Structure 1
Amino acid sequence: MILYSQDAEADRAFVKDVLGFAHVDAGHGWLIFKLPPAEVAVHPTDGAPKHEFYLMCDDLDAVCAQLAERGAELTGEVTEERWGRLTAVRLPSGSELPLYQPLHPVAHSLD
C-alpha cells in the first residue's frame, strides 16, 4: 500500500510518532512501515471501481483516546454501522485515514 501525500515528510512523521508504527528507512528518509494484520474484501459496485483503506482495531474508543493524547485530530464522531464502527484521523497533509472496529467475524488471524 502506498499513500500519496501533499506533505509526505509530515505524514511519515505522523505514522511513525503518533500512530507508532515500526519502520525501516529504505534510504534518504523513505520510511517503510510495518502494518498491523490486514484483510481484504471484494464488494460489488454499479459505479466506478474504487479502493478504500481502513486501519482496523479491536477497541475504537481506546484507540481514539490514545491518538487524541498524542495530538491527533479525529475528523468526526464515531459512526455505528451494522458491520462496524467508523471514524477517521486527519494526517498533517490534510487527508483522512479511516479507522474501523469491525463488528463481524474477522479473517486476519486465520492460519
Structure 2
Amino acid sequence: MLEYPYVDAGGGWLIFKLPPTEVAVHPTDGPQSHELYLMCDDVDATVADLAARGVEFTRPVTDLRWGRLTGLRLPGGGAVGLYEPRHERAGSSTRATTLS
C-alpha cells in the first residue's frame, strides 16, 4: 500500500527501496527506545491518499513543535510513525559531524 519498490529475498523477506532518509538521536533520562518514522512533504495529502487505499491510521494528525505526526498500521499489526517535518533538515546547513 505504501508503493515502495521491493524485491523478495526469499521466504517472504521483502527488501524495500526507500527514499532518502534521516536519523535522529535524542538524549533521554528514561529507558532507551527506538522509533521509526516515515517522512512526507504534506501529511494531510499523504494520509488522504493512503486512507483511500485502505491504510488504517493509529492516531489523528497532531501538530508538534518539530512537525505534524500521525501513525499507520502495518500489515503485520505493528505501527510506524508518519510525519511532515517542521525542523531544520539535514543537508540544509553546512554543519557536519563524524560519529566514531
Quote the offset at 1:76 in angstroms.
Answer: 1.7
Report the residue type matching 1:87 in the other structure.
T
- In the alignment of these two chains, the number of paired residues is 93
Residues 88 and 108 (structure 1), Cα distance of their counterparts in 2 relative to 1, 3 Å cut: farther
Q: Indicate the SS of the match to 2:59.
A: coil
Greater Cα radius of gyration, structure 1 or 2 = 2
Of 51, 57, 79, the match for 1:68: 51
- Alignment partner of 1:53 is 2:36: yes
For residue 41 of structure 1, what is the aligned residue in structure 2? 24
Question: Which sits farther off after the overlay, 23-32 or 60-69?
Answer: 23-32
Supply the distance in 2 between the matched residues of 1:108 and 1:26 (Cα, whole angstroms).
32
Q: Which runs of 5+ in 1 are unaligned?
A: 1-17
Report the residue type matching 1:102 in the other structure.
P
Query: Does the Cα contact within 8 Å between 1:38 and 1:108 map onto a contact in 2?
Result: no
Query: Does the Cα contact within 8 Å between 1:21 and 1:33 map onto a contact in 2?
Result: yes
Identity fraction in percent: 62
Quote the offset at 1:108 in angstroms.
Answer: 6.0
Deviations 1:60-107 (A, max 9, x none): 011100101111111121000011000011123322111011001212
For residue 4 of structure 1, what is the aligned residue in structure 2? none
Equivalences for 1:1-111 in 2 at 5 Å?
A: 18-107=1-90
Quote the offset at 1:28 in angstroms.
Answer: 2.9
TM-score (norm 2): 0.84
**Structure (1/2) with the larger helix percentage:** 1
Residues 104 and 73 (structure 1), Cα distance of their counterparts in 2 relative to 1, 3 Å cut: same
Deviations 1:28-63 (A, max 9, x none): 332101122111121110112111110001100111
Q: Which runs of 4+ in 1 moved over 6 A?
A: none
